């Protein structure tokens, strides 16, 4: 389904206000859910809206939220901040066979500013994905299995780095968030995770579908179509459960 994604309407002052509110709250912010307008906007480039101290503290908060969720990535729009900033880290201990199937290897912590990716080669891979902003769902998504990421580090250095396998999937998932794209926009075969007791794929769990799976898929498709069109009026559904690492 194609949909137009508008640019972020928030100016530098508004972005600073949102960030300062989060930094001064004294508690970790919630992860916003599908329907929040920040998830359906093209986030603004990081371009001096925040001081070096504010940026450093925000990255620290985002990393804490990602760990507590738990997840392997978090984009600033998932905290309601329309800024091209994301954190990535995958240090989960998973079954070696599952890791080999997914070409999954540990990813050290990264904070990326103004990222953009391009596919490397023509290879593609399909796996289940979940998202901390789509609580209880997962779906099969086909993505390039290698990408070149161009981004800035927090100190402003320009970097180019290739990623492959599961790391490439994480990079694409988080960068998509900054363009107002959710993984359901690229989904092939959605299922309702909460109804089937499935662990989301970015966290490494396996999918099992029992009797009635076709009905679950039909209900999931209707639900996902609704989420794709969701505006600010859709109620926020709360944070991803602690047993479901996602991004």
Distance CA 237, CA 90 (A): 25
* Whether the Cβ atoms of residue 42 and residue 7 lie closer than 8 Å to each other: yes
The CATH class of 12-228 is alpha beta
pLDDT, one tens digit per residue, over 49-105 is 999 999 999 999 999 999 999 999 999 999 999 999 999 999 887 888 888 878 888
pTM of the complete model: 0.78
Task: Give, in order, the Cα–Cα distances in Å from 179 to each of 2, 23, 62.
Answer: 13, 24, 18
Domain boundaries in the chain? 12-228
CB atoms within 10 A of CB 195: 15
pLDDT for the residue 194: 44
Taking 60 as the threshold, does the pLDDT of residue 179 lie above it?
Answer: yes
Taking 50 as the threshold, does the pLDDT of residue 201 lie above it?
Answer: no
Q: Which of 139-153, 162-176, 182-196, 210-224 shows the lowest per-residue confidence on average (mean pLDDT)?
A: 210-224
Active-site residues: which are they?
Answer: 174
Sign of CA dihedral 47, 49, 52, 56: negative
Distance CA 5, CA 110 (A): 26
């Amino acid at each position: 389904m194609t949909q137009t994604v508008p640019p972020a309407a928030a100016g530098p002052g508004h972005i600073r206000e949102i960030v300062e509110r989060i930094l001064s709250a004294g508690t970790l912010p919630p992860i916003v859910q599908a329907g929040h307008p920040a998830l359906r906007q093209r986030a603004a480039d990081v371009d001096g809206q925040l001081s070096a101290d504010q940026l450093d503290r925000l990255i620290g908060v985002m990393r804490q939220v990602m760990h507590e969720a738990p997840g392997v990535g978090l984009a600033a729009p998932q905290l309601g901040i329309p800024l091209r900033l994301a954190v990535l880290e995958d240090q989960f201990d998973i079954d070696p066979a599952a890791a080999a199937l997914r070409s999954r290897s540990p990813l050290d912590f990264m904070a990326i500013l103004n990222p953009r990716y391009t596919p490397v080669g023509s290879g593609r891979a399909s796996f289940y994905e979940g998202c901390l902003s789509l609580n209880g769902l997962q779906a099969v998504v086909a993505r390039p299995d290698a990408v070149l990421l161009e981004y800035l580090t927090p100190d402003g250095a320009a970097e180019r780095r290739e990623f492959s396998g599961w790391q490439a999937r994480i990079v694409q998932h988080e960068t998509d968030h900054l363009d107002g794209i959710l993984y359901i926009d690229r989904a092939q075969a959605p299922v309702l995770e909460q109804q089937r007791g499935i662990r989301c794929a970015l966290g490494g769990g396996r999918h099992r579908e029992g009797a009635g799976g076709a009905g679950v898929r039909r209900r999931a498709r209707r639900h996902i179509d609704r989420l794709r069109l969701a505006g600010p009026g859709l109620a926020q559904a709360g944070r991803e459960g602690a047993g479901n690492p996602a991004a």
